[in-house]
Amino acid sequence: MAQDLGAGARQAPARPGKAFYCVGPFEPELGGYIPEIELACETWGELNSAGDNAVLIVHALTGDSHAAGKPSEEYKRGGWWDPMVGPGRPIDTDRYFVICSNVLGGCSGSTGPASLDPDSERPYGMRFPLVTIRDMVRAQRRLLETLGVSRLALVIGGSIGGQQALEWAVEFPGFAEKVAPIAATGALGPQGLGMSEIGRRAIMADPNWQGGDYYGTGRSPDEGLAIARMAGMMTYQSAQGQWERFGRRPATRPALCPEFGGRFDIESYLHYQGRDLVGRFDANSYLYLSRAMDLYDVAAGYESEEEAYSRIESEMLFVGISSDWLFPASEVRETAEKARSAGAEAHYTEIDSLNGHDSFLKDWAELQRALKPFLD
Amino acid sequence: MAQDLGAGARQAPARPGKAFYCVGPFEPELGGYIPEIELACETWGELNSAGDNAVLIVHALTGDSHAAGKPSEEYKRGGWWDPMVGPGRPIDTDRYFVICSNVLGGCSGSTGPASLDPDSERPYGMRFPLVTIRDMVRAQRRLLETLGVSRLALVIGGSIGGQQALEWAVEFPGFAEKVAPIAATGALGPQGLGMSEIGRRAIMADPNWQGGDYYGTGRSPDEGLAIARMAGMMTYQSAQGQWERFGRRPATRPALCPEFGGRFDIESYLHYQGRDLVGRFDANSYLYLSRAMDLYDVAAGYESEEEAYSRIESEMLFVGISSDWLFPASEVRETAEKARSAGAEAHYTEIDSLNGHDSFLKDWAELQRALKPFLD
C-alpha cells in the first residue's frame, strides 16, 4: 500500500499515493498524551529546493487526504477537490507542491480513536484525548517539517478545514503567505452546536456504540452514525436549494428504511447519505471531529478575539457562501472584518449559490472565480 | 377524572376539565378502519342556543387539549395558550364557547397508536392506520356535532394546528366564519421533511421501540424520542434567537448526558427538552403526528392548489413569523396570496420576532396585536 517513512524522514513521497508519516509523541492542548502520531498524507507536484512553494489543503469533516485525482477503483468519485487541483488549475501543481493530510483524530489513515493505543494494545475508543483545531494544525506543522517544507504559499480549506486554515494564520503567524478559510468563522454558532450534538447523541444512544469500544465486536453504531450524517447533511444544504433539488417529490431510489406513509425524495436522499458514510467513516472519529469543530474558538488562549486576529501576518481571503446556514455568510464576513480591524490584510468574497455550506465542494466555477484574484 | 358522555351526547361538559367523547367508527382517508374514536376535549365559556358562538383552538405537535388554565398540580405550566384565552382575552370566554381537543393520533386522551385496538385487545402500535390532517379535522367536526355546535366563529392554531385550521377552511367551506392558520402553509418544505425524518429515524432505530410494540414491555424508546425532540426543537427556533439566548455559553443546568469536552448551554437545553417530552408523550404518536404534518398537502384530492383554495368561504388570516424556518414567513405569505388569488378573503400579517416557529407559544403581546383586528 503506502510506505511509512518514519519520524524525521525529510523527503517528499517518491510516487503519488497515500503515504504515512510518524510525527512523534503529542500533547493535545486540553490534556492527555498520544505516544505517537501518524498522519496519512498525499502530495502533488514538486517541492522546490527552498521548500517554500507548498500549498496545504485541509479537508472537511468526513473528508480525507485524497484531494485530487481522477475516479479510480479506490476513489470512485475521484479527489474531493479535483477541479481545483492539478496542472493549470487554480491550485496549480506545475507551480506548487500540494499537500493534503488526514486530520489528527480522523479515520482515513491518521491517528484517531480507532487507532491502537500502544499502552493497552487495543483501540483508543473514547480514551483517545480530545483534540482541537489547534492540535490538528500543530500536527500538520510537524508533518510539513517532515516533508521539508520551510514555508507555505497557501493554506486553504472549507468548513472544519476553514477553521484549521484560520488557526494556521493565528497559531503560526507568517508561516503561510496566504490563507483562505472558506465557509468558516472563529467560532461555530449555537444552531450548529445543536445540530452537531443531535448527531453525537444518535451515535452514543446506539447500543452498538458500546461506550466507544465497538471495534472488533462485530457490531458498530451504524444506525447512529447514519442519523448523525442525516443531521449533518441538513446543515450542509439550504432550504431554497432543497426546494429546487427535492421539493416534495416522492423518492425514486430503492428503499433503505421501512416505509411509513410513503417516502419523500429528501428522505431517501438522507437515508443514502447516511448509509454511504457508514461504510467509510468511523463513528468515534465523527464524535471527536464534530466536537473539535464545536469547541474551536479562535480567541482561546488569548486575551481577546482581537489579540488572536492581531497575530495574523498572512494575507487572508475569507469566503462566505450566500445560502450557508452552518457558517452564515454574514458571520464569515464579520470574521473578515474583525481580522481587518485587528490589523490583518483580510479580504472577503462571497459565493452566490443555493447549494448552502456544501457549495465549496460543488460550485467549481464560482469557487474558481472567487479564489482566482487571490491565488494569482 | 372526566366523564365519558358517549356517542350522540349533545351537551357541553357540565364543569371545566377534560372530557372524553366517543365519536363513532372512522375510516381514515389513506385506508384502514378504526372501530371507535374517542376524543379528549376541554371547553371554556358557554355555547349559545344557536350553537354558533364556538371557537375551535387546534394544538401543536406535542400539545394537548389544555389550552387555557392557571398552573395546577396536573398542568404545572398552565394552559399552553392561556394568555390568549379567558374572560376579556383575545379569545374571550365571556363571548365564546371555546373548544380544544387532543388530535386523532395523539396521546393525551384521544385515540392514537397507544390506544387499545378492540379487535386484538392490545395497543395498536404501528398497526394504527396513517391519519392525515384532513382526518383530524373530520374527527373534530364530529366532536363539534356531539357538542351541539352548528357553526364556528373561529378556528385558530399554529404549526400542525395551523395546517388543521387551513384544512378546516378547505374541507368544510363556510362552517367557520373566520380561520387563522399561524406559522403554517399548504405543504411543508423539504427542510422540514428532512428534520422530521431524522426524528423518526432516531425513534425507530432505538431498540426499545421494538417495532412500535413497546407498550407494557417495561422498555420504551426514550432515547430515540428525546433525540427526535432535540431535532424538533432546532426547527422551532431561529439562529439569531439562539445566539441571543444561548450563544456559546457553557451549560448551567446539571448534566443529563455524559460530558464530552464540556457542554454548551444549547446542548444542555436540548437534553432537557428531550427528557421533558419523554415523560409526557408517546413515541408512536410522535411518528404518526409528525408524518401527518409531512404528508399534508392542501391540494390533495383536488385538481389543483387553486381549486382547493377556491373552496374557502371563511375570512382568513394567515400569520407568519419573521424568523420561522420550519414554515418560513415568505411561504406563509405566499399561501395567503394563493388563497386570495383563488377568490378567498385572505389577509396576511407577520410577527416580527427572533423566537422562530415557537413565537406563537411565547410572544403574547405580538400575537395579540397580530390577531386583534381580525378577531374584533
The CATH number of residue B204's host domain is: 1.10.1740.110
Which listed residue (B65, B115, B159, B196) is catalytic?
B159
Domain boundary among A291, A309, A326: A291
Is B9 domain-assigned?
no
Is B234 domain-assigned?
yes
Structure confidence by residue, pLDDT tens digits, A241-253 = 999 999 999 999 9
Which residues in chain B touch residue A193, judged by CB atoms under 8 angstroms apart?
248, 264, 266-267
Q: Which residues of chain B have pLDDT under 70?
A: 1-16
- To the nearest whole Å, the CA of B106 is away from the closest chain A CA by 17
Structure confidence by residue, pLDDT tens digits, B200-219 = 999 999 999 999 999 999 99
By DSSP bridging, strand A315-321 and strand A346-351 are: parallel
> Which pLDDT value is given to residue A16?
61
- To the nearest whole Å, the CA of A243 is away from the closest chain B CA by 6
CA distance A264 to A246: 8
- Which member of A266, A274, A295 has the closest CB to residue B190? A266
Is A179 domain-assigned?
yes
Is A6 domain-assigned?
no
Q: Are B264 and A187 an interchain contact pair (Cβ–Cβ within 8 Å)?
A: no
Question: How many contacts (CB atoms, under 8 Å) link A and B?
Answer: 145
Residues A182 and A325 reside in one and the same domain:
yes
- Phi, psi torsion values for B22, nearest 5 degrees: -85, 125
Residues A84 and A233 reside in one and the same domain:
no
Domain boundary among B291, B319, B337: B291
The residues of A carrying an active-site annotation are 159, 324, 357
* Residue tagged 382568513 (cell numbers): B316
Residues A185 and A100 reside in one and the same domain:
yes
Domain boundary among B291, B314, B349: B291
| pLDDT bucket at A14, cuts 50 / 70 / 90 | very low
Query: What is the gyration radius of the CA atoms in chain A, in angstroms?
Result: 20
Residues B34 and B178 reside in one and the same domain:
yes
Residues B206 and B334 reside in one and the same domain:
no
Which residues in chain B touch residue A246, judged by CB atoms under 8 angstroms apart?
190
Q: Are B266 and A193 an interchain contact pair (Cβ–Cβ within 8 Å)?
A: yes
User: In CATH, what number is assigned to the domain containing residue B151?
Assistant: 3.40.50.1820
Is B284 domain-assigned?
yes
Structure confidence by residue, pLDDT tens digits, A186-239 = 999 999 999 999 999 999 999 999 999 999 999 999 999 999 999 999 999 999
Domain count, chain A: 2
Retrieve residue A60's grid coordinates.
472537511
CA distances (Å), B101 to each of A276, B6, B17, B40, B86, in order?
43, 16, 12, 6, 17
Domain ranges, residue B198: 191-291
> Which pLDDT value is given to residue A7?
40
- Which member of B194, B230, B239 has the closest CB to residue A266? B194
Sign (positive/negative) of CA torsion B32, B37, B40, B42? positive
**H/E stretch holding B339:** helix B329-341
- Which member of B198, B291, B328 has the closest CB to residue A230? B198
Residues A150 and A163 reside in one and the same domain:
yes
> Which pLDDT value is given to residue A9?
42
Residues B204 and B162 reside in one and the same domain:
no
Whether B7 and B19 have beta carbons less than 8 Å apart is answered as no
- Which member of B187, B197, B243 has the closest CB to residue A270? B197
Residues A180 and A204 reside in one and the same domain:
no
Residues A249 and A277 reside in one and the same domain:
yes
pLDDT above 70: percentage of residues in chain A: 96
Is B11 domain-assigned?
no
Structure confidence by residue, pLDDT tens digits, A347-358 = 999 999 999 999
**pLDDT of A110 above 50:** yes
Is B327 domain-assigned?
yes
**pLDDT of A50 above 70:** yes
pTM, to two decimals? 0.95
Is B72 domain-assigned?
yes
Residues A154 and A42 reside in one and the same domain:
yes
Residues B247 and B352 reside in one and the same domain:
no
**pLDDT of A273 above 90:** yes
- Residue in B with minimal Cα distance to A274: B198
Residues A202 and A348 reside in one and the same domain:
no
Which residues in chain B touch residue A297, judged by CB atoms under 8 angstroms apart?
248
